[in-house]
Structure 1
């Protein structure tokens, strides 16, 4: 029996599904005494340090947790479950941690994108049963802005490089904790979980294959999901956002089946974009919740969901806040939520008010779940200008002249699936959303959508140079070389594609094989 401490934030379902996939039963901590009665305790933490510690104290979990740890009983902390072991965090000054290990949690101050999101390696610093069966060159999934800085070097189990070398795992006796997410790290992560659950005691030190680790460029499969004319949920794909063909919604497959296929082919993440939003459904009946639940049972890489993450009132008159909607998605298996058209409205309000309100969906969700849980999806289109001063927006000098020979352009944000343009540009939107707490930008391009002409490199460069958070390039991929081009000619951390994967024009494995040795990728052997 495995006991999971669920303090009410983030995607715990994936941890539970991963444990159950290994043939173990799971029980949840419901009362403080359940902690001391646990045979093996897993503490998956997602979100913000201060919010986590306040909930733990409110529920009376701190004292039994410390007692359990001091008794040297089997414990595995994940992400915030690692950070909670220490005395405090720069994320929440004045908020005490569990204090089991001396040291502090510090924020990354590096020249790379923060949060650190994606697949990276680790170098073992001492033998551990957790590493049983590993070869030393594996990559695991990270998503965090803070890292632990222990005072006692003897507790350091592994380190990872992200401009600086940071501690990515600790162990003291039978108490272990990792900064990465084994439940989102595919077969490697499941192996680490299995080692913990089996109580592997044999101290194993995997060989150090390379002197440093490096983050991999991510290949993301995107599934646009909507109801077809018969009311069934299908994966579709548009050409410049038009998803109909001969009057009917294109049906490219079932969302759960396609997600499983892409996971097995080596996708680093799966993104579901709920392009109709299902705004007429009560939250508890949202069809996408069931898609997430079923997908998370078999797919052990990060899942992002977009569409309908907003305040709304359903047809029965019940009002739901954006934070409540996001919470239901997280509880159903999502790791991140994506906010699209509503982000434009939020930024327009911020610009009009002269500053943040503190009440937007971006601010509320990031405050509770952390910035890494909030993706802003931007749908811009290119608008040409005769000169830099011709429009009140940031412009770039383009290598692709306009219809009248214009050498300058700006990128107008759109809403409602690209059907309506707004008077705000993509660069400004990205900057403001980062200030509000977004942790990642998904950058689409209406002009390139469905064209197979390659990513809009000028757009991606302009936005990536304007922000310090990761950027996912989207729209236009038609071949493996387009992925190499976006990774070598821009600073994008990830690239997303849909139609070419759905139609099997280019496979995820084919893309990774082409990139292997040219840019760092999580290599999946054929």
Structure 2
């Protein structure tokens, strides 16, 4: 089996890239020291997170000059995400930290005033009808001078901003997107590079632009499949689904049991093959008495990442953990273990509410010690999702509460015309004196990159998303928002995208029970002229 050398600088989920490379017929050799670059024949340099952290890590380990020498040697080199960004001269993300300087130019932060940042989702890429997964806040603007210097560029447009999606010249090829998270389309890109097949003309990547308006450019509407995972009464890991967060049902014998809707790894593979753009695992048990290294969710991620090539998010238990023997593991260490096992993002729930309470108690000052801050600093804000579990509290008028209210089209039990959304913790079992506006603003300030917006009132109802809640949250923050809770039919997904600014929508029970498939939902969205990532078969991968 031919080999490729991999240079890893603690880039988050490296396991998925390894699995993807092996899937297309190559064996991994790890670069363990700068000297290894002298004997490598082809190199892939992936990266997730902060430009400055990446470059400083390379510099401290002595890789800068050997890496430049390898690139200038003419041997095949591929950069992914921050691996592309590192090729440029500099980045606004860390102005004092120089890049490799292979490509002239400075990376810029996307304009926060016109769209959600970070930019997350599937975009047009090297094939006109294929989509590739992007997750980044900084991008390289398109520069005619760079192209005049012989670089071929595949461009993307996010809102009104055009940026470099992929770039190549001679032996160098780099993508801002993650091929290992782009399904069959991404596997084809990896295979082409590794086999020395030229991917030109790159400039033809925008041959077929969508008819949708300019706000999103070619960004697709993400459909996310969510799996609530817990142990049942027999000790097996199962996917379950709650009704307003209650996951137990009455058996034929009249006893209570955990609702069992399938095995996590099998369901995740089915949803990937069916076209899900992302898979989210919510660990609602958190395996409190299990040593960190033996967490059952780690094995689920390892197995899932072997066959699922779209982003994986894991939620539940992302916090400081104490093993039964008294060993303390900081939240960053917990997240790192999940990333190494196959996760791309971690989702934080109860601890985010606690952190927000401390944030306001300290006069809105950042401690630098919360799970959100430590993880986002190490891996980038796109790696941190905050899962919000609010419920409605009705009031007669805004003056009846100190919390942020909305005027609702759905009056309360006493005819109240206003409501506020109370944040909860411990799986919705305990309400806090904090509204959803306060929470999302606080976690955005701490470095969260995305909000998973649940709604206790809508959970398991199959009555559609809470559009009023989604609008309220979207208007309060700049980071992407995933609509969750209430989806029952494909029409609900169209409704949430057409009537709110939601960046993605999540389904669970309707998919688990096979009432509808992800493919059916995406087909319906396409029929309504909403752009989606097509389900591509992998027969030519």
What TM-score comes out, normalization by structure 2 length? 0.93
1:501–1:508 CA contact under 8 A, matched in 2: yes
Match of 1:162 in 2: 158
Cα contact 2:184–2:536 (8 A) shared by 1? no
Q: Which residue of 2 aligns with 1:513?
A: 523
Greater displacement, 414-423 / 151-160? 151-160
Which segments of 5 or more consecutive residues in structure 1 lack a partner in the other structure? 123-130
What is the CA distance between 1:525 and its match in structure 2?
A: 6.8
The equivalent residue for 1:125 is: none
Per-residue deviation, residues 447-483 of structure 1 (Å, max 9, x unmatched):
0100101000000000011111100000000100000
Contact 2:192 2:199 in 1 (8 A): no
Equivalent residues, number: 515
Residue number in structure 2 paired with 1:234: 238
What's the CA shift for 1:511?
Answer: 0.4
3-state DSSP of counterpart to 1:114: coil
Q: Could you say which residue in structure 2 is the equivalent of 1:42?
A: 44
In structure 2, distance between residues paired with 1:253 and 1:272: 13
State the match for 1:146 in structure 2. 138
- Note the C-alpha offset of 1:402: 0.3
Going from structure 1 to structure 2, the CA distance change for 1:225 and 1:207 (only over 3 Å counts) comes to closer
Q: How does 1:216-295 map to 2 (within 5 A)?
A: 216-246=220-250, 247-295=256-304
The whole-number CA distance in structure 2 between the counterparts of 1:202 and 1:169 is: 10
Between stretches 354-363 and 434-443, larger displacement belongs to: 354-363
Provide the rounded CA distance (Å) in 2 between the counterparts of 1:283 and 1:62.
35
Q: Deviations over 1:401-423 (max 9, x none)?
A: 00000000000000111100000
Selected match of 1:385 from 391, 395, 411 = 395
Identify which range, 262-271 or 155-164, moves more after superposition. Answer: 155-164
Q: State the alpha-carbon separation in 1 of the partners of residues 201 and 492 from structure 2.
A: 41
Residues 1:137 and 2:129 aligned together: yes
Report the secondary structure of 1:102's partner residue: strand
Would you say 1:522 and 2:516 are equivalent positions?
A: no
- Work out which of the residue numbers 208, 211, 214 in structure 2 matches 1:210: 208
Q: 1:477 aligns with which of 487, 492, 506?
A: 487
CA distance in 1, matches of 2:140, 2:70: 21
4+ long deviations beyond 2 Å: 201-213, 523-526
Q: Distance in 2 between matches of 1:330 and 1:475?
A: 26
1:128 paired residue number: none
Out of 32, 56, 59, which is 1:57 matched to? 59
* Structure 1 residues 263 and 202, CA gap change in structure 2 (3 angstroms): closer
**Structure-2 separation of matches of 1:290 and 1:43:** 26
C-alpha distance in 2 between matches for 1:485 and 1:158 = 33
Q: Which deviates more from structure 2 when the two are superposed, residues 40-49 or residues 152-161?
A: 152-161
Who is 2:213 aligned against?
A: none
CA contact (8 A) 2:132 2:179 kept: yes
1:371 aligns with 2:381: yes
Identify which range, 278-287 or 267-276, moves more after superposition: 278-287
Query: Is the CA contact 1:156–1:167 (under 8 Å) kept in the aligned structure 2?
Result: no
Is the deviation greater in 31-40 or in 377-386? 31-40
The corresponding residue for 1:410 is 420
CA offset digits 1:264-298 (Å, max 9, x no partner): 00000000000111122111101101100100010
Q: Which residue of 2 aligns with 1:312?
A: 321
Alpha-carbon contact 1:137-1:208 (below 8 Å) kept: no
Give the Cα–Cα distance (whole angstroms) in 1 for the partners of residues 236 and 49 of structure 2. 34
Give the counterpart of 1:27 among 22, 29, 35: 29
1:433 aligns with 2:443: yes
> Aligned partners of 2:527 and 2:164: how far apart in 1?
27
- Residues 251 and 184 (structure 1), Cα distance of their counterparts in 2 relative to 1, 3 Å cut: same
- Residue 208 of structure 1 and its aligned partner are, at CA, apart by 4.5
Shift of 1:169: 1.1
**Can you give the 5+ residue segments of structure 2 that lack an aligned partner in the other structure?**
211-216, 251-255
1:175 aligns with 2:175: no
* Inter-CA distance 419–517: structure 2 relative to 1 (3 Å threshold): same
Which SS does the other structure have where 2:531 is aligned?
A: coil
Q: Write the deviation string for residues 361-418 of structure 1: whole angstroms up to 9, x where unpaired.
A: 1111111100100000000000001110111100000000000000000000001111
8 Å Cα contact 2:385-2:450 kept in structure 1: yes
Indicate whether 1:500 and 2:510 are aligned: yes
1:8 counterpart (10, 15, 23): 10
Please, what TM-score do these two structures have when normalized by structure 1?
A: 0.96
Q: Partners in 2 of 1:446 and 1:202 — Cα distance?
A: 48
Alignment correspondent of 1:419 = 429
Structure 1 residue 70, shift from structure 2 partner: 1.1
Aligned 8 A contact 2:155 2:206 in 1: no
Partners of 1:458 and 1:505 in 2: CA distance: 26
The 2-side partners of 1:188 and 1:219 are apart by: 17
SS of 2:346's equivalent?
strand
1: CA distance, partners of 2:536 / 2:332: 40
2:120 to 114, 117, 131: 117
Match of 1:417, SS? coil
Give the secondary structure class of the aligned counterpart of 2:464: coil
Give the deviation of 1:98 after TM superposition: 1.1
Structure 1 residue 214 displacement after superposition: 1.2
Quote the Cα distance in structure 2 between the aligned partners of 1:120 and 1:42: 22
Q: Which residue of 2 aligns with 1:446?
A: 456
Residue equivalent to 1:127: none
**Aligned residue in 2 for 1:188:** 185
Structure 2 match to 1:333: 342
- 366-375 vs 92-101, greater mean Cα deviation: 92-101
